[in-house]
Amino acid sequence: MAKRSWRMTSGPHWLLLLSITFGAWSVPIDRNAVPQEAHPPPEGKQEENLDTGLFYDRYLREVVEVLETDPLFREKLQAANTEDIEKGRLGKELDLVGHHVRTRLDELKRQEVARLRMLLKAKLDSTNTETLQIDHAALLKQFEHLDPHNQNTFESADLELLIATAAKDLRNYDLERHKEFKRYEMLKEHERREHLRGLDQEEQEREEQRLQRLSEKHRQHPKVYAPGSVAQLREVWRETDGLDPQEFDPRTFFSLHDTNGDSVLDEQELEALFTKELEKVYDPRNEEDDMIEMEEERLRMREHVMKNVDVNQDRLVSLDEFLRSTQKREFGSPEEWKTLDDSKPVYTEAELQQFEAELREKEAELAQRAESLRQEEELLKQWGTALEAQRNEYQQAVMDMSQRQRNQQAVDGQPLPGPNGELQFQQEMKNLEEQGANATVSQNFPGEERMNTSIEPTQNLPLHTS
């Protein structure tokens, strides 16, 4: 499962309030990590912005970065609350930004429109459409994060649409992750049953016993503390922070784990707190431990904390919310955390049967497609064989025609052509001419020396008169 996170390096609240901490995904477990003191990030060094998973992620981040370059608008953003952001009230403040900011936003929007047009054209080409004229304005309406009626300038409507769309998409992010995990679990069970079905009875019994042993081994793990409880936080305080658990202080704990210093714990920072609990249950070196299940467990833990601590439901935990949660009765005497093993399966038998029916339909469709491709391949081979036979036939016909021409020329007494198509008598005439020229220039007689004399014209001869 992909691991994604996104975090603003400045302007700590407005997009975070919008939920544009952007579905902080899982945090890798480092088993060799040693406790270290918290250090502020080096001055001038920004954290890496990773993909949010939204298809307009780059456009969203670039708009945010440009807006934050304007001091007045940034001040408005920092003072905004969740309601202001989600209802689009910030769009009205867009008129306050400088000309260079608006120019850059216009350029970003034109680039995004051009990108979407390219995607639309690629989609239409892939469906082999015969449409010659494309109404881009109409097609762009399917994208909710920008105003399709104005494709050249970035206006307040664009900011409002971008914020509203991102908020809506990210609210459904965790729900989609749960659905994806359910499909994964059903596929795993389907493959297990198919594997057992292919074995004889004795082999089935041995395989089922082996799987049962692995399942029991997986369940044998230390007690898992409820996320957000005093026992769980003290364990982090001791194991990760290297501090005395008897000196646990909630305010200090909050400051240590607010790693980007924005005075709130976002989803990524919260999920990092559950690493030690997850290590008790999951080890990538063990065959019985499924790392996909570990990420689902991490998501469940984060949702549990948000439900009990995040009072205003802005997907962030402020210091005040964190301190108030430590005063609750559940904080000091929590129940043991029930892992996925205690709540399995996450699907019903009816859902599994429906899933398997869909798999069979897809397999039948793929098999039909494969057969169609095989027949096309066979047909192409036949065409290739026929073309090769036709080519050989044409070559033989040319050779036969050439031979008939040679035979006809021999009957008519015409010289046969040479190897390069020239007539043979031409070369023989050249040889005769060369021999004749040599004979007229010089002659050799036996017993006599070669003579070279010049014949002078006769002088003073009488002229004949009539």
User: Torsion angle, CA of 73/75/77/80, rounded to 10 degrees?
Assistant: -130
Record the tokens describing residue 327, joined without a space: 């005063």
Q: What is the pLDDT of residue 445?
A: 44
Q: What is the pLDDT of residue 379?
A: 94
Cis peptide before 345 (omega within 30 of 0): yes
Q: What length is written for the chain?
A: 466
In this structure, which amino acid lies at residue 50? L
What are the distances in angstroms from CA 376 to CA 53, 165, 373, 379?
39, 45, 5, 5
Q: What is the pLDDT of residue 421?
A: 54
- Between 360 and 60, the more confident residue is 360
Mean pLDDT of 267-284: 92
Mean pLDDT of 5-33: 39
Cross-strand partners of 265: 317
Does position 165 have pLDDT exceeding 50, yes or no?
yes
Q: Is 305 exposed, middle or buried (0-12, 13-18, 19+ CB in 10 A)?
A: buried
pLDDT above 90: percentage of residues in the chain: 39
Does position 91 have pLDDT exceeding 90, yes or no?
no
Q: What is the pLDDT of residue 5?
A: 36
Mean pLDDT of 396-410: 87
Q: What is the pLDDT of residue 289?
A: 94
Q: Is the pTM of this model over 0.85?
A: no
Record the tokens describing residue 298, joined without a space: 């991490």
Confidence grade of residue 42 (pLDDT, cut at 50, 70, 90): very low
Q: Residue 265: phi, psi to the nearest 5?
A: -100, 115
Confidence grade of residue 415 (pLDDT, cut at 50, 70, 90): low
Does position 447 have pLDDT exceeding 80, yes or no?
no
Confidence grade of residue 412 (pLDDT, cut at 50, 70, 90): confident
Mean pLDDT of 135-156: 71
Does position 49 have pLDDT exceeding 50, yes or no?
no
Q: How far apart are CA 93 and CA 74, in angstroms?
A: 10
* C-alpha R_g of the chain: 43
Q: What is the pLDDT of residue 388?
A: 93
Confidence grade of residue 83 (pLDDT, cut at 50, 70, 90): low
**pLDDT tens digit string along 209-225?**
999 999 999 999 999 99
Helix (H) or strand (E) holding 318: strand 317-318
The pLDDT mean for the chain works out to 77
The string over 39-76, giving b where at least 16 C-beta atoms fall within 10 Å of a residue's C-beta and e elsewhere, is eeeeeeeeeebbebbbebbbbbbbbbbbbbebeebbeb
Q: How far apart are CA 14 and CA 21, in angstroms?
A: 10
What count of other Cβ atoms lies within 10 Å of the Cβ of residue 264?
22
Cross-strand partners of 124: none
How far is C-alpha 21 from the chain's CA centre? 21
Q: What is the pLDDT of residue 465?
A: 44
Q: What is the pLDDT of residue 53?
A: 61
Helix (H) or strand (E) holding 264: strand 264-265
**pLDDT tens digit string along 363-381?**
999 999 999 999 999 999 9
Q: How far apart are CA 329 and CA 343, in angstroms?
A: 25
Q: Is 452 exposed, middle or buried (0-12, 13-18, 19+ CB in 10 A)?
A: exposed
Which of 5-19, 160-174, 309-323 has the highest average model confidence (pLDDT)? 309-323
Record the tokens describing residue 231, joined without a space: 């026992």
Record the tokens describing residue 60, joined without a space: 């969203």
Confidence grade of residue 428 (pLDDT, cut at 50, 70, 90): low
Q: What is the pLDDT of residue 123?
A: 66
Q: Is 320 helix (H, G, I), strand (E, B) or coil?
A: helix
How far is C-alpha 320 from the chain's CA centre? 40
Mean pLDDT of 71-84: 71
Confidence grade of residue 19 (pLDDT, cut at 50, 70, 90): very low
Does position 429 have pLDDT exceeding 70, yes or no?
no
The single-letter DSSP state of residue 265 is E
Q: Is 231 exposed, middle or buried (0-12, 13-18, 19+ CB in 10 A)?
A: middle
Confidence grade of residue 458 (pLDDT, cut at 50, 70, 90): very low
**pLDDT tens digit string along 103-139?**
888 888 888 888 877 777 776 666 655 554 555 556 6
Q: What is the pLDDT of residue 125?
A: 67
Which residues have C-beta within 8 Å of that of residue 336, sequence separation ≥ 6?
A: 223, 224, 225, 226
Which of 94-98, 156-160, 258-262, 431-435 has the highest average model confidence (pLDDT)? 258-262
What are the distances in angstroms from CA 69 to CA 56, 100, 106, 119, 121?
21, 10, 15, 30, 34
Q: What is the pLDDT of residue 130?
A: 54
Q: Residue 68: phi, psi to the nearest 5?
A: -75, -10
Which residues have C-beta within 8 Å of that of residue 318, sequence separation ≥ 6?
A: 263, 264
Q: How far apart are CA 8 and CA 170, in angstroms?
A: 16
**pLDDT tens digit string along 254-266?**
999 998 888 889 8
Of 40-44, 88-92, 177-181, the poorest mean pLDDT is in 40-44
Residue with tokens 């070559």: 395
The string over 2-16, giving b where at least 16 C-beta atoms fall within 10 Å of a residue's C-beta and e elsewhere, is eebbbbbeebbbbbb
Q: Residue 106: phi, psi to the nearest 5?
A: -60, -45
In this structure, which amino acid lies at residue 155? E
Q: How far apart are CA 397 and CA 307, in angstroms?
A: 86
What are the distances in angstroms from CA 112 to CA 55, 105, 167?
11, 10, 19
Does position 10 have pLDDT exceeding 50, yes or no?
no
Q: What is the pLDDT of residue 54?
A: 73
Mean pLDDT of 231-241: 93
Q: What is the pLDDT of residue 33?
A: 42
Which of 163-167, 247-251, 267-271, 460-464 has the highest average model confidence (pLDDT)? 247-251
Closest alpha carbon to 229 in 242, 215, 248, 243: 248
pLDDT above 70: percentage of residues in the chain: 68
Mean pLDDT of 401-427: 69
Q: Residue 129: phi, psi to the nearest 5?
A: -70, 150
Mean pLDDT of 49-68: 75
